[in-house]
């Protein structure tokens, strides 16, 4: 059935595995063997894909799979105590499957609901605003073995939490208005408008969108591809969730505008697995746009302007937010970032010229088509034209979505969201920058504080060491393992912070962190590895007492238990006398 639905195309392998798991609840070995044979792929390749994505399961899991969001903001809202309550009520421990196979509980990375946490996923479907009452209701529904579709619908409802609108969020254009305008001026003039707008990518890197589109248009190939990167996995960001929920037409129209510019016939929306609940409404919007003539053949009545969009799901891999990793994932492979050059604009999806743009970037293209590039460039700053959506979460009265012109100060955002006694703001997610109060006059803009949108607020009751510890564990978990410096370096970094958290750290560990920072920055293959130490390095510079509180009064304490590591060798050789152990050091001399 899965093969019939997707065809025997290896690039659909990930989508097939997701569909198969939906049906079987896990991925039995014989199903993987059948799939590998049908697609004429080595079984190891199929297994490799399953092993890469944290939402795919090669071992049996509970009929109800519960994953608590482990973002620092969810923790601040009490997620740990709620998970403990649920585990106690259902008689199991985190990471376990219940004896009857009914339920399994674990944690996952940020689920994109930081404005209404704590949050969890139940079989991939998100539930926000968890509290003790909701946990008790969920436990009861599980005990009754009620199918998920029969659970109260209000459990799966969310707030949009839009608190500040500017050009994008107050846009009232009807479907097709922006396309009509771009078609009317012609392809070349439309690209000139894009150039005049100075629009830069809103996914974080800030590359000029028109330059990307031009390179793709000029690439010698008959087929071009447009990809919308809706894999916002950066902890603390959720603005793409709200855009896809409240303004899906703008996003799809932006993709079609990109197709008009570059001459693409196929588009993909790569939707992060955590946003599974958005998929039915997105598919319905696509169907309506096809019926209205804004997707499909001869769009807007223009012969030869044919373009359509497919939705592909991710499966819980943060690194797939990196555009080349995303393309690998779209091709049904492990999401390992590619070596560049060549760049996706010339060699992207299946080797075809491809533009990959973020959700917000594409939605912004509609404003440019509607009002012109110059009008778009009239707001913002010299190097950052237009507005920026911020996902505000943490210690403030009104967490949610805020749209400001670029150049807004951190203090203005804090005032708008009702934050007080603020100790720090983490802008740009775990990979971003930690700002102390003396920096709150800095501006959100590519030339000062760049961000994909996450804006996490911490008041003066918070421990910034704990914040960085959470981020570093996140990176160690999300490292794709392709390159050794990142695979090992992020684990060592997490281990060092674990040691500090246990109160066993020494000043030498702080020096070790700086060494690891250098290693990761110099030798990592992609941005995940090089950014991983950022929160710790910022924390050491700006909140050093929070780290020093965890130090032992000793110069050195080993992070690696050498004597423990030799246990296996002692067993094998059958020698476990005192001489086979390392001498214990007196505490003072360590
Ligand atoms: Fe993978 Fe990390 Fe290397 Fe990036 S830096 S390719 S995430 S191992």
Global ipTM: 0.99
Q: Do 299 and 177 belong together in one domain?
A: yes
Residue to probe by mutation, ligand 1, list 525, 530, 531, most atoms within 8 Å of CB:
525
573 and 494 within one domain: no
Task: Check: CB of residue 109 under 8 Å from CB of residue 272.
Answer: no
Query: In this structure, is residue 342 part of a structural domain?
Result: yes
Please check whether residues 274 and 339 belong to one and the same domain: yes
Cα 357 to averaged position of ligand 1 atoms, centre (Å):
21
- Calculate how far, in angstroms, residue 484's C-alpha sits from the geometric centre of ligand 1: 8
Contact between 500 and 549 under an 8 Å Cβ cutoff? The reply is no
How many structural domains compose the chain? Answer: 6
d(CA 172, CA 78): 38
My answer on whether omega of the bond before 342 falls inside 30° of 0, hence cis, is yes
Best of 321, 333, 526, 527 for a ligand 1 pocket test (most atoms within 8 Å of beta carbon): 526
Burial of 565 (0-12, 13-18, 19+ CB in 10 A): exposed
- CATH number of the domain encompassing residue 356: 3.40.50.11540
Is the CB of 539 inside a 6 Å radius of any atom of ligand 1? no
CA separation, residue 67 to residues 29, 96, 253, 543 (Å): 24, 12, 34, 32
286 with 176, same domain? Answer: yes
Asked if residue 390 lies in contact with residue 402, where contact means CB atoms within 8 angstroms, the answer is yes
Atom of ligand 1 nearest to the CA of 487: 8
Walk along the chain (590 residues) and give the pLDDT tens digit of each residue.
777 888 889 999 999 999 999 999 999 999 999 999 999 999 999 999 999 999 999 999 999 999 999 999 999 999 999 999 999 999 999 998 999 999 999 999 999 999 999 999 999 999 999 999 999 999 999 999 999 999 999 999 999 999 999 999 999 999 999 999 999 999 999 999 999 999 999 987 899 999 999 999 999 999 999 999 999 999 999 999 999 999 999 999 999 999 999 999 999 999 999 999 999 999 999 999 999 999 999 999 999 999 999 999 999 999 999 999 999 999 999 999 999 999 999 999 999 999 999 999 999 999 999 999 999 999 999 999 999 999 999 999 999 999 999 999 999 999 999 999 999 999 999 999 999 999 999 999 999 999 999 999 999 999 999 999 999 999 999 999 999 999 999 999 999 999 999 988 888 899 999 999 999 999 999 999 999 999 999 999 999 999 998 887 556 566 667 788 788 778 878 888 877 887 665 444 44
Given 139, 159, 179, the domain boundary residue is: 159
Find how far residue 486's CA is from the centre of its chain: 18
On whether residue 382 sits in a domain, the answer given is no
Domain assignment present for 386? no
Is 96 among the domain residues? yes
DSSP sequence for 500-535: HHTT-B-HHHHHHHHHHHHHHHHH-SSHHHHHTTHH
How close is the Cα of 486 to the center of ligand 1, in Å? 6
Among the three residues 377, 404, 428, which one is the final residue of a domain in this structure? 377
Q: Are residues 237 and 288 in the same domain?
A: yes
Per-residue pLDDT at 559: 64
Domain boundary among 128, 159, 190: 159
| Whether residues 22 and 126 fall in one domain | no
- Is 508 inside a domain boundary? yes
Q: Is the dihedral of CA 413, 417, 421, 422 positive or negative?
A: negative
Do 190 and 85 lie in a common domain? no
Q: In this structure, are 213 and 154 located in the same domain? A: no
Q: Is residue 169 part of a domain?
A: yes
In angstroms, the CA 471 to CA 477 distance is 10
pLDDT of residue 590: 41
> What spacing in Å lies between the alpha carbon of 499 and ligand 1's midpoint?
24
**CB of 476 shorter than 6 A to ligand 1:** no
Instruction: Calculate how far, in angstroms, residue 59's C-alpha sits from the geometric centre of ligand 1.
Output: 26
Q: Is 542 near ligand 1, meaning CB less than 6 Å away? A: no
Residue with tokens 């994909």: 452
22 shares its domain with 9 = yes
Q: No. of H helices and E strands in the chain?
A: 25, 14
For 103, the domain range is 64-159
Nearest CA to ligand 1 atom 5: 529
Tell me, in angstroms, the distance from the centre of ligand 1 to residue 479's CA: 6
Judge if 174 and 312 occupy the same domain: yes
* Residue 26 and residue 61 in contact, taking contact as beta carbons nearer than 8 Å: yes
Asked whether residue 59 is assigned to any structural domain, the reply reads no
Query: Which of 528, 530, 531 to probe ligand 1 with, by most ligand atoms within 8 A of CB?
Result: 528
What CATH number is given to the structural domain containing 517? 1.20.1440.230
- Ligand 1 center–CA 325 separation, angstroms: 10
Give the distance (Å) from ligand 1 centre to CA of residue 489: 10
Q: Is the CB of 495 under 6 A from ligand 1?
A: no
Contacts of 266 (CB under 8 A, 6+ apart): 223, 225, 226, 307, 308, 310
The CB of 527 under 6 Å from ligand 1? The reply is: no
DSSP lists the bridge partners of residue 200 as 208
d(CA 278, CA 252): 14
Contact (CB, 8 A) for 359 and 204:
no
Query: How many angstroms is it from 475 CA to the middle of ligand 1?
Result: 10
174 by Cβ neighbours in 10 Å (0-12 / 13-18 / 19+) ranks as exposed
Residues 125 and 172 in one domain: no
- Which residue has the least CA distance to atom 1 on ligand 1? 480
Residue 553, in any domain of the structure = no
* Residues 23-58: b if buried by 16+ CB within 10 A, e if exposed: eebbbeeebbebbbeebebeeeebbebbebbbbbbe
Both 439 and 506 in one domain: the answer is no
């Amino acid at each position: 059935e899965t093969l019939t639905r997707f065809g025997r195309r290896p690039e659909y392998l990930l989508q097939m595995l997701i569909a198969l798991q939906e049906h079987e609840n896990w991925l039995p070995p014989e199903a993987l063997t059948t799939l590998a044979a049908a697609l004429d792929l080595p079984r190891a390749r199929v297994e490799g894909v399953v092993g890469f994505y944290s939402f795919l399961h090669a071992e049996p899991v509970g009929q109800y799979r519960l994953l608590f969001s482990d973002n620092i903001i969810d923790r601040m809202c009490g997620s740990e105590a709620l998970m403990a309550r649920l585990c106690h009520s259902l008689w199991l421990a985190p990471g376990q499957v219940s004896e009857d196979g009914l339920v399994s509980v674990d944690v996952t990375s940020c689920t994109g609901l930081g404005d209404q946490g704590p949050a969890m996923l139940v079989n991939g479907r998100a539930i926000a605003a968890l509290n003790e009452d909701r946990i008790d209701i969920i436990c009861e529904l599980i005990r009754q073995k009620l199918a998920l579709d029969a659970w109260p619908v209000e459990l799966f409802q969310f707030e949009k939490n839009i608190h500040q609108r500017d050009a994008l969020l107050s846009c009232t254009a009807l479907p097709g208005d922006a396309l009509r305008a771009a078609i009317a001026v012609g392809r070349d003039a439309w690209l000139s408008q894009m150039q005049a707008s100075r629009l830069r990518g809103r996914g974080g890197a800030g590359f000029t969108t028109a330059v990307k589109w031009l390179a793709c248009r000029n690439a010698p190939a008959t087929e071009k591809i447009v990809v919308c990167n809706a894999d916002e996995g950066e902890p603390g960001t959720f603005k793409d969730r709200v855009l896809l929920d409240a303004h899906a037409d703008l996003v799809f129209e932006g993709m079609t505008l990109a197709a008009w510019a570059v001459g693409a016939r196929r588009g993909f929306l790569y939707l992060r697995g955590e946003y599974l609940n958005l998929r039915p409404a997105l598919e319905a919007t696509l169907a309506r746009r096809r019926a209205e003539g804004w997707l499909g053949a001869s769009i807007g009545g223009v012969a030869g302007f044919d373009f359509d969009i497919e939705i592909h799901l991710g499966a819980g891999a943060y690194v797939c937010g990196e555009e080349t990793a995303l393309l690998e994932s779209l091709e049904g492979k492990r999401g390992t970032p590619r070596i560049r050059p060549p760049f996706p604009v010339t060699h992207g999806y299946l080797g075809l010229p491809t533009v990959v743009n973020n959700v917000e970037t594409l939605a912004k293209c509609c404003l440019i088509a509607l009002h012109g590039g110059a009008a778009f460039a009239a707001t913002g700053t010299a190097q950052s034209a237009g507005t920026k959506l911020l996902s505000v979460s943490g210690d403030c009265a009104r967490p949610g979505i805020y749209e400001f012109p670029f150049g807004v100060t951190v203090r203005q955002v804090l005032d708008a969201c009702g934050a007080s006694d603020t100790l720090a703001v983490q802008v740009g997610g775990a990979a971003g920058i930690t700002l102390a109060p003396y920096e709150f006059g800095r501006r959100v803009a590519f030339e000062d504080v760049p961000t994909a949108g996450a804006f996490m607020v911490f008041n003066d009751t918070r421990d910034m060491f704990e914040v960085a510890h959470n981020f570093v564990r996140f990176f160690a978990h999300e490292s794709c393992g392709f390159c050794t410096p990142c695979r090992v370096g992020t684990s060592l970094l997490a281990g060092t912070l674990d040691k500090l958290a246990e109160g066993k750290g020494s000043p030498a560990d702080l020096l070790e962190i700086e060494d690891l920072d250098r290693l990761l920055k110099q030798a990592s293959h992609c941005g995940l590895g090089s950014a991983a130490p950022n929160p710790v390095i910022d924390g050491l510079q700006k909140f050093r007492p929070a780290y020093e509180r965890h130090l032992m009064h000793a110069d050195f304490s080993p992070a690696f238990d050498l004597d423990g590591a030799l246990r296996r060798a002692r067993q094998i050789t059958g020698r476990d006398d005192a001489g086979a152990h390392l001498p214990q050091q007196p505490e003072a001399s360590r």
